[in-house]
A and B are shown apart, each in its own frame.
Chain A
Amino acid sequence: MALLGHTRLPLSLTTRLALLFALLTASLLIVVGVVMGRAVEEHFHELDDHELSGKLSLIENLIRRANTPQAREALPQRLDDAFVGHDMVAVLMRDEEGSVIYALQAGRFDLEQIEGMPLPPPPAIWQRDARQFIGREAVFELPGVEGGVQTPVRVLLGLDISHHAHFLTELRTQLWVGISFSALAAALFGWLAAYKGLTPLRNVTAAARDLSAEQLGVRLVKGDAPAEVHDLVEALNGMLDRLESSFQRLRDFSADIAHELRTPVSNLMTQTSVALSQKRSPEEYREVLGSNLEEFERIARMVGDMLLLAQTENSRLPQKPELVVLADEARALAEFYEALADEKGIRLQVCGEARVRGDRLMLRRAVSNLLSNALRHTAAGGVVEIEIAEAGGWATLAVRNPGDTIAPDQLARIFERFHRASPERHRHGEGAGLGLAITRSIVEAHGGRVSAESATGRTRFCIALPAAGTAPAGST
């Protein structure tokens, strides 16, 4: 449950996408806004500069033409005329001695600010009473009147550019408002889009939530969901398949256990109650108890087998694997079963060699089950062969025996618990049908595989285990 292990709930996908959209939109618009603001400001500066130059040219013209006493007399008037209606302009003119010969709105504009500014441009910018001004200073030659020498005139020119500054401030404010609004809108749209886009996922979640252990047969519907969700649905359905089949096996297993236990328990109950129904001799009681003991042993063996199965199926490799020489184990087992085989008129043969790593006791038990199974199904005069081989990193041990061919559908289920090739109940002394299942789970716990094939009167069970490779130095 690692997925649910977070202590802090992470942001939902929808929120993340919405935030991402907002962030993207905002940063994009901010860049655009900054660039635009700069361009407009630049443009205004050029415009103002241009206007300043134009006005200065005008003033220069008027001054140059004041070359007669009348014209000199009329100069202030002309300047007034020239700037009439231009209340955004201020002029201050001084002669050589510094006395003012013409002034227009000089006080309001605070024109002294730019006295002594370097020439030529850039123009100076200053502020007063929340208004913004731009200005330049120039020196022109006032022509001499009636043969007199020309004298220099210092001209200070100022322009009120508050409206530009105001416009820029306005523009910036509107840009910010616009950007904020767009970012909000983007977040909203992002949220909506993500929410809509994730609808199939929510549908799958809702469907999965409604499933319970009783209705594992139900599968999620893919519908017209997008590809990503398709994959998810398929993966979940695959998981449901596996869950269903293991639940099914669990149910079957419980039923099988109950069934297998019923026979010995009912035997015990019957013979015990019959024995108790009247007085009997000690020998008779002894007989009943002995018979009971046999049934108990059968039950005990089954319980032990089931515990072993549960244990091997839930664990991986043994904790202390040792080197197991398969041929040695096979020979030891052949020796163990020799008397039984001999009595049935069966010969046992072992050939080949391979080494694996694992729990020797367990592996011995796995092979033992194959061998006892083969002996059970071989007729007199037959030969049971144990062939051991090693190829491609795998050690294989195959038990071959002549016997009735097993049908393919039986073969597929032969390693399952409580499976028996023949439907009639087992005779006394035989296993409960757990032997091959135990073999499989032991082999699988060792990282190996089991297989079975049967054709033309020969059956072959095979165990494949990862080979231990070459023997380490010092051993045998």
Chain B
Amino acid sequence: MKILIVEDEPKTGDYLRQGLAEAGFVVDLARDGLDGLHLALSGDYDLIVLDVMLPSLDGWGVLQTVRRQGREMPVLFLTARDQVVDRVHGLELGADDYLVKPFAFSELLARVRTLLRRGKTKEPEVLRAADLELDLLRRRVLRGGVRIDLTAKEFALLELLLRRQGEVLPRSLIASQVWDMNFDSDTNVIEVAVRRLRAKVDEPFEPRLIRTVRGMGYVLDVPEAY
């Protein structure tokens, strides 16, 4: 997977490149709008991470030209202002998602993966991890063959964790995907929800599947020993 980053702030650009490269992507970095546009049109990218405030040609200009040239790769734009105007404008111009600075890198990574996965996966009927089984058609969860009763939201949370196995999911992404709450709550509500889910599907069993990654979020994966 090849990703283009267009970002003029040197440190942000470098760390984004490093982070995404370490996450397994092939990454190019452009430091201004014109370079970015040139790369976007000449290279074959699967996704563009686009800053809005850029020298020589701003993000809107890059986005517009890219779309006019018929390039349909997903574009995630970064805006410094949490303005409805920006949000609406960007999505109207054909962006696929946006992030407001400052953001956590884990959040960016999760969104990048969501965009790259979009429309590509075939819906499996049963999601599995070790002896945990989630049956989407019958809406039921089994662990070691034992049925576990979950509330609708607990089911949705577990489904998200299973679909994105091995990915660290930030709290804000979980709130947005499971509850459709697109803002940070000033409470520890996600923590509590994950803890309760864990108490039902994880704690009484071996191995432990759901882990907390300090400062970043939650991940469901099968420990290597198994």
> Separation in Å of the A436 CB from the closest CB of chain B?
11
Residues in B neighbouring A300, C-beta threshold 8 A: 102-104
Check if B175 sits within 8 Å of A290, measured CB to CB. Answer: no
Report the minimal beta-carbon distance from A425 to chain B, rounded to whole angstroms.
15
Binary per-residue interface labels of chain B (141-179) against chain A in the complex, 1 for a CB within 8 Å, 0 otherwise: 000000000010100000000000000000000010001
Q: Contact between A332 and B179 (Cβ–Cβ < 8 Å)?
A: yes
In the complex, chain B residues 66-101 whose Cβ is within 8 Å of any chain A Cβ? 81-85, 88, 100
Q: How far is the CB of B224 from chain A (nearest CB, A)?
A: 18
Contacts of B216 in A (CB 8 A): 290, 293
Q: How far is the CA of A319 from the CA of B185 in the complex (A)?
A: 25
> Do A369 and B186 touch (CB < 8 A)?
yes
Residues of B within 8 A of A287 (CB): 214
Query: Which residues on the B side are within 8 Å of A301 (C-beta)?
Result: 184, 186
Give the docked Cα–Cα distance between A376 and B151 (Å).
24
Interfacial chain B residues near A293, Cβ < 8 Å: 104, 214-216
Q: Is the beta-carbon distance between A311 and B104 smaller than 8 angstroms?
A: no
Least CB distance from B109 to A in Å reads 14
Interface of A is mostly: helix
The answer to whether B84 and A339 touch across the interface, beta carbons within 8 angstroms, is no
A300 CA / B184 CA spacing, docked (Å): 11
Q: Is A244 an interface residue (CB 8 A)?
A: no
Q: Smallest distance from the beta carbon of A90 to chain B beta carbons, Å?
A: 101
* Partner-binding segment picked from B43-51, B113-121, B188-196: B188-196
Which partner residue on chain A sits nearest B80 by CB separation? A307
Report B's interface with A, CB cutoff 8 A. 81-85, 88, 100, 102-104, 151, 153, 175, 179-189, 192-193, 196, 214-216
Query: Contact at A335–B84, with CB atoms within 8 Å?
Result: no
**Contact of A303 with B102 in the complex, beta carbons under 8 Å:** yes
Q: Please state if B215 and A376 are interface contacts (CB–CB under 8 Å).
A: no
Query: Given A332-B179, A339-B196, A372 and B185 touching (CB < 8 A)?
Result: yes
**With contact pairs A290-B215, A297-B104, A429-B187 given, residues A335 and B196 touching in the complex (Cβ less than 8 Å):** no
Q: Nearest chain A CB to B6's CB is how many angstroms away?
A: 22
Contact A372 B84 (CB under 8 A): no
**Which residues does chain A contribute within 8 Å of B186, judged by CB atoms?**
301, 369, 372, 430-432, 435
Task: Choose among B82, B179, B185 the residue that contacts A308 (Cβ–Cβ < 8 A).
Answer: B82
Chain B residues contacting A308 (CB-CB under 8 Å) are 82
Q: Are A368 and B183 in contact (CB under 8 A)?
A: yes
Q: Does A337 lie at the interface of the complex (its beta carbon under 8 Å from any beta carbon of B)?
A: yes
Contacts of A64 in B (CB 8 A): none
Structural contact, A340 and B183, CB atoms closer than 8 A: no
Q: B181 touches which one: A311, A364, A369 (CB < 8 A)?
A: A364
Please give me the residue from chain A that is nearest to B193 by CB atom.
A339
B187–A361 contact, CB under 8 A?
no
Interface assignment of A454: CB less than 8 Å from any CB of chain B:
no
Can you identify 7 A-B contacts, CB atoms within 8 angstroms? A301-B184, A311-B83, A337-B187, A340-B192, A361-B182, A372-B186, A430-B186
A38 at the interface (CB under 8 A from B): no
Tell yes or no: A291 within 8 A of B by CB: yes
Chain A 360-374: CB-based contact to B (< 8 A → 1; otherwise 0): 010011001100100
Residues in chain B near residue A289, CB distance under 8 A: 215
Inter-chain CA distance A339–B179, complex, in Å, is: 12
* CB nearest to A428 among chain B residues: B188
- Give A120 to B67 CA distance when docked, in angstroms: 108
Q: Which residues of B contact A345 (CB under 8 A)?
A: none
- The minimal Cβ–Cβ distance linking B126 to chain A, given in whole angstroms, is 26
Which of B81, B180, B184 meets A307, CB within 8 Å?
B81
Q: Quick one: which of A286, A339, A429 has the most chain B CB within 10 A?
A: A339
- Complex Cα–Cα for A473 and B181 (A): 28
Residue of A nearest to B182 (CB): A361
- Contact at B82–A291, with CB atoms within 8 Å? no
Minimum distance in angstroms from B111 CB to a CB of chain A: 16
The residue in A297, A332, A432, A435 that gathers the most chain B C-beta atoms within 10 A of its C-beta is A297
The answer to whether B196 touches A332 (Cβ under 8 A) is no
Q: Are B88 and A297 in contact (CB under 8 A)?
A: no
> Is A95 close to B, CB under 8 A?
no
Contact A340 B179 (CB under 8 A): no
Q: Note all chain A residues with C-beta closer than 8 A to B187.
A: 337, 340, 372, 375-376, 429-430
**Chain B residues with CB below 8 A from A435, complex form:** 186
Question: Are B214 and A318 in touch, CB under 8 angstroms?
Answer: no
Expressed in whole angstroms, the minimum distance between the Cβ of B173 and any Cβ of chain A is: 14
The CA-CA distance from A318 to B84 in the complex, in Å, is: 8
B215–A291 contact, CB under 8 A? yes
Question: Within the assembled complex, what's the spacing in Å between the Cα atoms of A364 and B181?
Answer: 8
A296 CA / B175 CA spacing, docked (Å): 20
A353 interfacial contact with B, CB 8 Å: no
Whether A343 touches B192, Cβ cut-off 8 Å, given contacts A290-B215, A304-B82, A369-B186, is yes
Q: Which residues of A contact B104 (CB under 8 A)?
A: 293, 297, 300
Bound Cα distance from A287 to B189, whole angstroms: 23
A300 to B186, CA, bound (A): 12
Whether the pair B215, A339 counts as a contact (CB closer than 8 A) is no
For the complex, give the distance between the alpha carbons of A430 and B179 in Å: 20
Q: A339-B196, A376-B187 are in contact. Are A297 and B215 (CB under 8 A)?
A: yes
Contact of A304 among B85, B182, B184 (CB under 8 A): B184
A372–B189 Cα distance when bound, in Å, is 9
Nearest A-chain residue to B82, judged by Cβ: A307
Residues of A within 8 A of B100 (CB): 304
Q: What's the nearest-Cβ distance from chain B to residue A438, in Å?
A: 10
A294 within 8 A of B: yes
Contacts of A431 in B (CB 8 A): 186
**CB < 8 Å: which of B102, B151, B179, B188 contacts A336?**
B179
Interchain nearest-CB distance for A220 vs B (Å): 39
Residues of A within 8 A of B180 (CB): 332
| Residue A234 interfacial (CB < 8 Å) | no
